[in-house]
Amino acid sequence: MKRIRLDRWATQIQPPRNPRLHLPPFSSETRAPRRELQQRQYQIQHQWQHQRRHAVTRRKASSAAAAQLEEAESAAPIPLDTSQDGDGAASPPQPQYAPSHRRAAQSAKLSALHARLALPSKLPLQTLARCLIDPSADPRPGYNNAPFALLGQDLLGYYTSEYLMCHYPRLPMPVLFAAQYAYVGSATLGAMRAEWGVEVVAAPGQEVDPGLLQLKRSVPGNAMLDGETRQLKDMPQARRLGSGRRNEEYNFRRGMSSRIVFDDQFGDLQSGLQPADAQPYPGAAISSPAADGAEAGSEQEQLALDTAASAPPPQPQSPEETHPTTVEQGSASFIRALAGALYLHAGSAASKTFHKDHVLSRQLPLHTLFHFTHPTRDLSRLCAREGFEPPVARLISETGRLSRTPVFVVGVYSGDDKLGEGAGSSLNEGRVRAAAAALRSWYLYSPPDSEVVLPSEVEGAAGTGRSKKQWKPQMVDIGEVIT
Amino acid sequence: MPLQALRTVAKPQNGVGAFILQCKRIDLHYCDWAGSSKGMNDFLRTTLPAFAKQNPSIELSVSPRPGRHPVIKGLYINGRQKAICVRNMESGEILRKVELLKAASGERLRRERRPVKSANESVRGVWDPFHGHKYRI
């Protein structure tokens, strides 16, 4: 039987999950009491540390580096010392959280990642290690990547949106949302994490190598609960996301303008908002519907306001209480945190270079993002708006009209100018494809590169440098065709 | 609704912006007793520190494998591994093998039948009978 390698437990990549995996029900009774669990983990950690130390001295007995290493090892206290935590309140054995900063400097994986991404030396290894820790692994805001990710998400979104808007001023809003998602959305960032060679741990912990992405993984939807015959995804306990809009309970249509105002940079619902039918937490400032008399109503209000601690729902205090996330969301928050950390440590130029090297270098054919429903109608409205002659479809060439595989090449003309061309297996299909091609060529107009000046190139630190660019007002389009 | 959008993911182009070296880790195994590992032991003592300094993006791991031939294994970003047994090789040869591992992409060795791969369409377009001069008898 293979010897158990305690130092590799948490870092080993698990095999693919079994969808028939039976999980214990979500109740606290089945979990081991916390103190015993922590003591056991403490013993395991110590055991591992003693093993490791002895192995080191045996292997490097003759080398001069061994002396230095031993010094460093004896000087560095065991990571389980309680001196780390800021909250000095009499806490029980310290919960097993993120690795210490000393370990970040010793990790080969972390240094290799730093070099592989060619990160500037101004970004310390310790910050990179912190960027790899998701809030689900460690809820303390001073030790996870959530603050960096908040900044980095806005930075990446800003750089991407200004690039798209300045280079493609006529891009319609839905396509702009889709292009933004394609460049800096969570799916792309999840793929990017894999391309960088950053591995994800099976479970977070303090013994884990600092160079691995740590997050608490959510249970897959096709897992089965113990005692149930249905899979998790089929259980009727789905929570609806809140949308942050007024009158949300009436389920109004979420149109484009509404998405621009209320939703995030991809046009999706914001995460973390309570739905309208959620129960308020105890002590919430509720305004009662003064049905019987203003007196009773005002009394109730006062009571509620008095007892309101004006505090949001309690934050998770320990890793056991945090909400699990998916690998994709964890990867996205890592990369956003890296962008934010680069901005803070190395300046806006470094974060802009990061965006250009990793995001804008990716290839996105914008013409594949369009999906038209009535292109002929849209095109004729567009020509009317712009003052062109009404579009007319003409047959350019054809073959095989009476055969099984005809081809008709149709062009759409406004007067003598050909706006677009399309081929189809019927006359109507050719006409529709031609109109769609014409609309795409209109919306994908791009001004020459000499005319394009991005706002971030001239504002802030970039605007005062030696090689500053001269600002040119960028083209702002009237908008997409409304039909 | 006049216009809808289809979501997709932008494709990576390694090297266009940033270049990510595909080799992320090399494991070097040696043996103190076996004669086939003499060159490997010399390599580890003399040449490896300089190689590690020049290639900070590769995680190097040196560990003994007693009673076995020396072997070097490269782990790549696509998850694949390449192993080379360096028994009875001199230090210089082993360095060449390590450089070979470093320069590899991790993909299988296969014969490439198409000389050019591109995500863009041809610049001048592929010929079709519908545009251009029609053949008349």
B1 touches chain A (CB under 8 A): yes
**Which tens digit of pLDDT belongs to each residue from B68-104?**
999 999 999 999 999 999 999 999 999 999 999 999 9
0.85 surpassed by complex ipTM: yes
Residue A205's pLDDT is what? Answer: 86
Give me the CATH code for the B23-103 domain, please: 3.40.30.10
Nearest CA in chain A to B133: A397
Residue B132's pLDDT is what? Answer: 81
pTM attached to this predicted model? 0.79
Q: Are A179 and A369 in contact (CB under 8 A)?
A: yes
Phi, psi of A363, rounded to the nearest 5 degrees = -100, 130
What is the amino acid identity at position A130? Answer: R
Tell me the nearest-neighbour CA distance from B113 into chain A, angstroms: 24
How many beta-carbon pairs below 8 A join chains A and B? 124
Average pLDDT, chain A: 80
Contact: A177, B5; criterion CB under 8 Å: yes
Residue A11's pLDDT is what? Answer: 47
* CA atoms of A139 and A136, how far apart (whole Å): 6
* CA atoms of A362 and A356, how far apart (whole Å): 9
Contact: A195, B3; criterion CB under 8 Å: no
Nearest CA in chain B to A189: B9
Crossing angle for the helix pair A327-346 and A186-195, to the nearest 10 degrees:
80
Banded pLDDT at A63 (limits 50, 70, 90):
very low
A121 touches chain B (CB under 8 A): no
Tell me the nearest-neighbour CA distance from B1 into chain A, angstroms: 7
Tell me the nearest-neighbour CA distance from B63 into chain A, angstroms: 10
Residue A293's pLDDT is what? Answer: 45
Whether A301 has a pLDDT exceeding 90, the answer reads no
**Which tens digit of pLDDT belongs to each residue from A22-34?**
555 444 444 444 5
A460: alpha, beta or left? (left if phi > 0; alpha if psi -120 to 50): left
In the predicted model, what is the mean pLDDT of residues A83-95?
A: 43
Which of A116, A363, A396 has the CB atom closest to B57's CB atom? Answer: A116
Residue A46's pLDDT is what? Answer: 54
- C-alpha to C-alpha distances, A290 to A29, A295, A298, A301, B69, nearest whole angstrom: 43, 8, 8, 10, 86
